[in-house]
A = this chain, B = another copy of it.
């Protein structure tokens, strides 16, 4: 039985359902990031109400603290953090490269020192899969090297081929699991390398395909160009995931090119910093123009946070450094993202995605 049902499409935009052991995910879907077994400053009951159907957990953080063996003993990440819908975990690769100290890369894997206490670890493709199995992740990601941007063709080629070898080892290590394993397309901004990477992965037959090596500092049009030539190479009957993306306009542009799944820290990180997403773009709630504003931060948006609290109250909370400020804006921003995804899904179903996206973007930018 397929793990992905394609319900509708509107040009390249797709409306589907990803099926997992812990339930279905309506796509296009946005996954809030729960790095250390918590979506920062948001309780799981509140998160459920936002319409979130899947969370992302970070393998690197969880293996270091509290440790995947402990989480495994507790019945997996779902029980540990009280989230009983699907969870996707990244492979840890990205954080090994961006956060840890003294990395040593070999064909076998990566040796590194923890950014928390300097303790030494070796992560191989097999180890990454073992950790993600311990977490009981519904969607496991292959361990890969996220090619930095920019990269020469040679660098990108070597890096991609290493990731493809590791993908094969991940696939083998994953054998027998009831959960799903996604392959990650690499190849930087080179269409021949993306093509080679996709063919390698399809040959191994993954449950879904992520486009990796993007959202690493490249301009938006560069990212869209990569999607323009990569997405058509991917099988129609599998979900497609754009890792680490992004801003609302990034998401809309990627959906238009055939992407189904997204994750990003932006709604929660911005929320803690006093930035709120609105239909007219982002606002900084600390701005003194909100001090006396006895109305919603966004009368166009509709959610229990901005429907309940005035801009002035939220401004006051940040001004007084009250934790509730970050809690409420994080929640508001997740609602904003999930409502955007709902509207995207409805517009695809009704074959009016392009009109929806033009209207959204003309207000937003």
Contact = CB atoms under 8 A, between A and B. Distances in A.
A309 B74 contact: no
12 contacts: A38-B324, A40-B323, A42-B324, A43-B324, A65-B316, A65-B320, A66-B319, A73-B292, A82-B309, A272-B323, A323-B326, A327-B327
A316 B310 CA distance: 34
A110 interface: no
A99 interface: no
Contacts of A66: 291, 312, 315-316, 319
Interface in A298-338: 308-310, 312-313, 315-317, 319-320, 322-324, 326-328
A316 B77 CA distance: 13
Contacts of A341: none
Contacts of A317: 36-38
Contact of A324 (B41, B73, B292, B315): B41
B74 A312 contact: yes
A312 B70 contact: yes
Interface of A: 36-38, 40-43, 46, 61, 65-66, 70, 73-74, 80-82, 272, 291-292, 294, 308-310, 312-313, 315-317, 319-320, 322-324, 326-328
Given A37-B317, A43-B328, A74-B313, 20 more contacts: A36-B316, A36-B317, A36-B322, A37-B313, A38-B317, A38-B324, A41-B324, A43-B46, A43-B324, A61-B320, A65-B316, A70-B291, A73-B292, A74-B310, A80-B310, A80-B312, A82-B309, A323-B326, A323-B327, A327-B327
A50 to B, nearest CB: 14
Contacts of A316: 36-37, 65-66
A294 B69 CA distance: 13
Contacts of A327: 41, 43, 323, 327
Nearest to A313: B80
Contact of A322 (B40, B315, B319): B40
Given A66-B312, A312-B70, A36 B292 contact: no
A46 B310 CA distance: 19
